[in-house]
């Protein structure tokens, strides 16, 4: 059985930041799965009062190389979540995870900003679940910055 790695950058605050980040990855994954199901079922009832979901999900911008954007988001959330879970068990992951999560969430924030711009100015429809994902990845990014700063100052 692998022993748990003790690091100075964890501490009580670091532990809280890690688990809040993990909770956000679960929330983001659920949101991405919801959007993926919506993509394939085309159920307007899932839009919960907003027809923007269907409009955005049917746009040409909802796929990249044949992959739904929501699937790419799900993979991103899962990668971040796995990195967070593996931190205590692998020294390399423990040392590099804050930087990886910072980079992955930065890419997510930039991509979400781009997609939100497309929703507003090209598609002219807003998907509340897409906006929720953008907010979630932004919070993960903020926590990643805090964790990275804490790691570098210790």
At 60-119, the pLDDT tens digits run: 999 999 999 999 999 999 999 999 998 877 776 667 888 999 999 999 999 999 999 999
Going by pLDDT thresholds of 50, 70 and 90, the confidence category of residue 1 is very low
Pseudo-torsion of CA 87, 88, 91, 96, nearest 10°? 20
Average pLDDT over residues 125-150: 95
Average pLDDT over residues 142-152: 90
With contact defined as beta carbons under 8 Å apart, do 113 and 121 qualify? no
Average pLDDT over residues 23-33: 97
The model's pTM is: 0.88
The more confident residue out of 6 and 93 is 93
Domain ranges of the chain: 11-153
With contact defined as beta carbons under 8 Å apart, do 53 and 110 qualify? no
Query: Rounded distance, CA 131 to CA 86, Å?
Result: 29
Place of tokens 């990014």: 141
Q: What is the pLDDT of residue 51?
A: 74
Instruction: Just give the CATH number of 11-153.
Output: 1.20.1440.130
Q: What is the pLDDT of residue 48?
A: 73
At 36-67, the pLDDT tens digits run: 999 998 887 777 766 788 899 889 999 999 99
With contact defined as beta carbons under 8 Å apart, do 141 and 102 qualify? yes
Q: What is the pLDDT of residue 8?
A: 42
């Amino acid at each position: 059985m692998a022993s748990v790695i003790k690091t100075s950058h964890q501490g009580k605050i670091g532990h809280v930041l890690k688990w809040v980040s993990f909770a956000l990855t679960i929330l983001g994954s659920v949101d991405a799965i919801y959007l993926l199901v919506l993509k394939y079922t085309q159920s307007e009832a899932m839009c919960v009062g907003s027809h923007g979901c269907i409009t955005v999900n049917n746009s040409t911008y909802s796929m990249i190389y044949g992959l739904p954007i929501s699937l790419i988001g799900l993979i991103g959330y899962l990668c971040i979540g796995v990195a967070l879970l593996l931190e205590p068990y692998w020294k390399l992951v423990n040392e590099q995870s804050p930087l990886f999560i910072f980079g992955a969430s930065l890419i997510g924030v930039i991509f979400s900003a781009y997609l939100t711009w497309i929703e507003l100015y090209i598609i002219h429809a807003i998907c509340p679940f897409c906006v929720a994902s953008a907010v979630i990845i932004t919070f993960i990014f903020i926590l990643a910055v805090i964790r990275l700063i804490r790691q570098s100052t210790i």
